[in-house]
Chains A and B, each alone.
Chain A
């Protein structure tokens, strides 16, 4: 499967724990985006990364959330000290360098906070 790969598909955490969500972009894609989707809502942009660089994090909450896309390995979205309000589906998307290209989405990680 050459698509965008996210894991885990489902993640359960207790309040105060850390959540790590992983995303491997499509082969040949160097642009990664993270979105959050609340129930019955559209996706909200969080952050846009290229290898080793955060290009735009205007949608990231100011505290507890961070993202990286290292030179080797998947992109990671990290949520520290999770709270109930962090429960959502988190989608990763990737695109090639062409601006006209659509973003291709992974299957998402459903995060549940107990």
Chain B
């Protein structure tokens, strides 16, 4: 069974600081996704990481993937209040079959002025 673990689950940080969210998964995967969810809202796709060593950046967010370590990171640079949200990583099992995603529990991020 594929398991996805995120840490930390809760993070409070000040504007202007840097921080990293970690996503570990338990079995081979060839697709990793990061999503953002605001309270009461749907999930917004942030990044799709498809290969070992993949790095993608959008604004103050940067995501990377190490398939050998089964680890992805989401790095936040010089955080601003608008980035407050819950961030999920999701993994697609590469063992074939259907395309359902396995999600981590999410990192609830609060950025304080």
Count residues of chain B with CB under 8 A from any CB of chain A. 23
Q: Are A100 and B31 in contact (CB under 8 A)?
A: yes
Binding stretch for chain B, among A13-21, A38-46, A73-81: A38-46
Q: Are B102 and A105 in contact (CB under 8 A)?
A: no
Smallest beta-carbon distance A25→chain B, Å: 14
Q: Are A48 and B103 in contact (CB under 8 A)?
A: no
Smallest beta-carbon distance B1→chain A, Å: 11
Q: What's the Cα separation between A102 and B63 when bound, in Å? A: 15
Tell me whether A106 and B42 are in contact in the complex, defined as CB-CB below 8 angstroms, given that A42-B103, A48-B100 are known contacts. Answer: yes
- Is residue A55 within 8 Å, beta carbon to beta carbon, of the partner chain? yes
Residues of B within 8 A of A100 (CB): 31, 48, 50
Q: Are A58 and B50 in contact (CB under 8 A)?
A: no
- CB closest residue in chain A, given B108: A40
